[in-house]
Chains A and B, each alone.
Chain A
Amino acid sequence: MPGPTQTQDVRSEDGSAGFPEFGDSIDQTTFEQILEMDDDEEEREFSKSIVYDFFTQAESTFQKMDANLEKKDLAQLSSLGHFLKGSSATLGLTKVKDSCEKLQHFGARKDETGTKEEPDDEKSLRNCKVTIEQAKTEFKEVEQALRRFYRDDSS
């Protein structure tokens, strides 16, 4: 249903879902490229290891984000946002990527789109906090979907 409306929100790459179970959380084209790297379509060894590495990376990054939120270190938050944005973008995890990008901007004392300065550090921190929570939620969502995809029942 989330088909194209009159203008696309081009600020976030609206990935259309080729894998119905992923909803619009994952950009099909990008994720397909990762899957194509698998030697065996049954085992999916490479993509699975990458994806699971990402889970680990995301968890540890979220921990660092929380720590830096505690320390009110906006610059570090921005940097962490950028970091996680890179890997989530590579895997096509659109929603997480978008939130990380927002975090990058908020941490840089800017608005969500990175176009306008935000003079109030407290507000920037609040923005960061909300965005981290959002990113975590989105991550959980996509993690579940991916674990299902790899038929992992351990979650």
Chain B
Amino acid sequence: MQDQDGPNALPSLSTLSLSDNDKRENHGQRAASTGLSDRIFANTPVPTVILDQTLTIRHVSKSYYALSSRTPEELIGENIYGFVEQKVPVPDVATVRGAIETAIATGNVQTIHDIPTPDGSFYSMRTTPIVEDGELLYIIFEIENTTQEHMRQTELREQLSINETFRILVETVKDYAIFMLDPGGHVSTWNAGAQNIKQYTREDIVGKHFSNFYGDEDRAADKPGKELVVALRDGKCEDEGWRYRKDGTKFWANVVITPVYRNDILIGFSKVTRDLTERRAAETRLISAYEESDKLKSEFLANMSHEIRTPMHGMLTALTLLIDTGLNAEQKELSSIISDSGRVLLQLINDVLDYSKLASGSFSVGSGVVCIPDIIVSVTRHFQTTTKAATRLETSLDPRIPQTLEGDALRYRQIVQNLIANAVKFTESGVVTVTLTLDEESGDSLTLLTEVSDTGIGVPQRAVGTLFTPFTQFDNSATKRYGGTGLGLSICKTLAELMGGQIGFRPNDGGEGGSVFWFTVKLRPVRRVDSVEKLSSLQAEGAYTAQPTDPLAEVKRIATGKRLLLAEDNQINSRVMLRTLKSLGFVSVDPAMDGMQALSMVKQESISIKPYDLVLMDINMPLIDGVTCTVEIRKAGIDVPIVAMTANALKGQAEAYLAKGMDDYITKPVDRGLLVKVLARWLRNKSMLDVGTKGG
């Protein structure tokens, strides 16, 4: 460009300049070139000054005038150095001089960048020497506003510096594994923390899939893949779990996976992993320490209440004896106060004992054969005597409820007893009704709803929320008037929940006011033993349809000709049982005084013309106990119905007896009504089976 434009351009300058040099250097080509160089140099948007070899200003662009706010008269013909630093954004004279001299000496373009101005703009100054055949002809001196470029560069530099900072930060962090995965889940970067935590070096792991950090089970369930899906869907996936190091050891990790997009295109995932093993261990230690202290507290409570109970019993016993020694009226009154207070205290101790057992989790709900309607009847009978004269106590039992179910009789009874006691206590007159209904029946469980409604003082709305909270009573005056520990209902609540149910309250909207307390329990139907199934199938065939309604009459009818064996080591019990059985019409009952005797009698009679129709078997007997005896009887292939009689029939023991080959069980002391039902059940079956066998 220089070679072509130089000779053409230079003469045209004279048209703009008024100097002699101009005229001297013209060679008559003015007309030909006028216009082009003129117009270029006059109109270039880059503020430009052209100097001759003496550094005199020969030509100035319009843009330079604009920039310097000077007129041609002021500039043309003047030395360049006289103008620098005057309104033109250039560095000091020395710098300008240095640039110009270097340009002349080297023949190269010299540029000074980023010259700041007071208004915040930036300029660059370019000095271009025009040399022909080794001789300097002109110097083009250009100023350019580079503010925008400067800003862009600055930003870029800053960005680079930030990126660098981040890179260093990430690479050197030791406590966090921070790395990138490609969109397919392969590790693409690795940091010191990752190496520290996971033991893999960069060379080991880059390019491998991140599922390497997961356990076999997680991998089998494709947990890594699912985490990426979740991260894509939710923008983030956080997880805590076991992760594995290179050497196979595991650590408890918190992992955050975040998808990374560039221009809306997924370029991979960032993954940050923290090793929380220590923290988790600390948490576990804390929790176990807390649980331990809580357990100790509850155990202490339980032990204390327990220890207090024994002397309390002693005191109350002694007090009863004292009252009987013939006291005067005043002494009697005082000792009855002691007696009443003692009983309240004993109740409180019992409640606390139950409550602390419940709280410590050492309270278990047993499983035995229970007859819920019987419990209701028995409990209400118990309260009949203490119910106020103006109050009626009624029961309503759902006939659909089976006579036997599997559950904890004692605990069910405790709830019912408590609710009825409350109802009776708070009802001056009216009616207390206990309603038992079959709430729900599914394949292997029945939900029973028990409701106790009364026409008593009711519960104020504000107290409803805290009814089942321990140690609360809804009214202080009520406490004074009615007494109680404030623990009863909360114990009931826990018991109901232990039995798979719920407890609740609602006002009695029957018109007379009062309360309805209800609770549900889940119970399982009793597994049927073989002979009952045989019986059921017989019934299904229509062999027997008539179901006698009165068990007593039925037993008396079928007792005729039946032979029973009564294995009972306690003479008193044996005599009472024999008498009871006799009154039911069983005249042929043989007593056995121990298990061994019972076994040999059953064996002996089994081959006689008339073997025993049923065995009533005590559990605890000398020589061999009732369970062992039963096992031996079954081993001998004798399938006589065996009914256990025991005082220990709680917490799953009944099931154990049934499992050992017994057919049924009855608690001691033997209730006559219950005995009648059991005998009816088994002897009726036997009669039917006998007939069934004969008939079929």
What is A's interface to B at a CB cutoff of 8 Å? 1-11, 14, 16, 18, 23, 29-30, 33-34, 36-37, 46, 50, 53-54, 57, 79, 82-83, 85-87, 89-92, 101, 111-112, 115, 130, 134, 137-138, 141
Contact = CB atoms under 8 A, between A and B. Distances in A.
Contact of B670 (A1, A9, A14, A90): A90
B321 interface: yes
A4 B414 contact: no
A79 B346 CA distance: 28
Interface of B: 306, 309-310, 313-314, 317, 320-321, 336, 339-340, 343-344, 346-347, 350-351, 354, 362, 381-383, 385-386, 410, 413-414, 417-418, 420-422, 424-425, 483-485, 487-488, 491, 569-573, 575-576, 579-580, 583, 618, 620, 647, 668-672
Nearest to B351: A7
Given A4-B383, A16-B386, 9 more contacts: A4-B421, A29-B381, A34-B576, A37-B580, A82-B647, A83-B569, A90-B570, A111-B306, A115-B362
Given A6-B418, A7-B347, A82-B620, A90 B572 contact: yes
B484 A6 contact: yes
B347 A3 contact: no
Contact of B314 (A83, A134, A141): A134
B583 A37 contact: yes
Contact of A16 (B382, B573, B668): B382
Nearest to B569: A83
B570 A9 contact: no
Max count, chain B CB within 10 A of own CB: residue among A53, A54, A87: A87
Contacts of B414: 7-8, 10
B572 A50 contact: yes
Contacts of A2: 343
Chain B interface mostly: helix
27 contacts: A4-B382, A4-B421, A4-B425, A6-B425, A7-B418, A7-B488, A9-B350, A11-B350, A16-B386, A18-B385, A23-B320, A29-B671, A30-B671, A33-B671, A36-B672, A37-B580, A57-B570, A79-B620, A82-B647, A86-B570, A87-B572, A90-B573, A92-B669, A101-B647, A130-B310, A130-B314, A141-B320
Contacts of A115: 362
A115 B648 CA distance: 13
Contacts of B382: 4, 14, 16
Nearest to A101: B647
B677 to A, nearest CB: 15
Specify which of A5, A101, A137 lies most central, judged by the most chain B CB atoms within 10 Å of its CB: A5
Contact of A8 (B310, B313, B418, B483): B418
A14 B414 CA distance: 12
B543 to A, nearest CB: 36
A3 B669 CA distance: 23
B572 A3 contact: no
Given A4-B424, A141-B321, A57 B572 contact: yes
Nearest to B672: A33
B368 to A, nearest CB: 14
B487 A89 contact: no
B571 A7 contact: no
Contacts of B483: 5-6
Nearest to A37: B579
B586 to A, nearest CB: 14
Contacts of B570: 57, 83, 86-87, 90
B647 A5 contact: no
Contacts, number: 131
B580 A5 contact: no
The 10 closest A-B pairs by CB, nearest first: A87-B572, A6-B484, A6-B488, A3-B386, A4-B421, A89-B669, A7-B488, A8-B417, A86-B570, A5-B347
A112 B306 contact: yes
B339 A5 contact: no
B350 A16 contact: no
Contacts of A134: 313-314, 317
Given A10-B410, A138-B317, A1 B575 contact: no
Nearest to A34: B576
Given A6-B425, A10-B410, A37-B576, A1 B321 contact: no
A38 to B, nearest CB: 10
Nearest to B618: A86
Given A37-B580, A54-B572, A6 B672 contact: no
A53 B572 contact: yes
Given A4-B383, A10-B414, A37-B583, A87 B347 contact: no
A4 B576 contact: no
A114 B363 CA distance: 13
B307 to A, nearest CB: 10
Nearest to B650: A114
A6 B349 CA distance: 12
A3 B343 CA distance: 10
Given A8-B418, A9-B350, A50 B485 contact: no
A97 B389 CA distance: 32
Contacts of B647: 82, 85-86, 89, 101
Contacts of A53: 571-572, 575
A137 B339 CA distance: 18
A4 B381 CA distance: 12
A50 B484 CA distance: 40
A77 to B, nearest CB: 14
Given A8-B418, A53-B572, A90 B321 contact: no
Contacts of A3: 386
B669 A30 contact: yes
B493 to A, nearest CB: 12
A87 B309 CA distance: 25
B571 A57 contact: yes
A115 to B, nearest CB: 8
A102 to B, nearest CB: 9
Contacts of A90: 570, 572-573, 576, 668-670
A37 B580 CA distance: 7
With a 10 A CB-CB cut-off, give which of A6, A50, A101 has the most chain B CB atoms.
Answer: A6
B436 to A, nearest CB: 19
A8 B385 CA distance: 15
Nearest to A127: B310
A95 B310 CA distance: 14
A39 to B, nearest CB: 10
Nearest to A100: B647
A6 B317 contact: no
A94 B281 CA distance: 54
Contacts of A91: 572, 576, 669
Contacts of B386: 3-4, 16
A115 B668 CA distance: 20
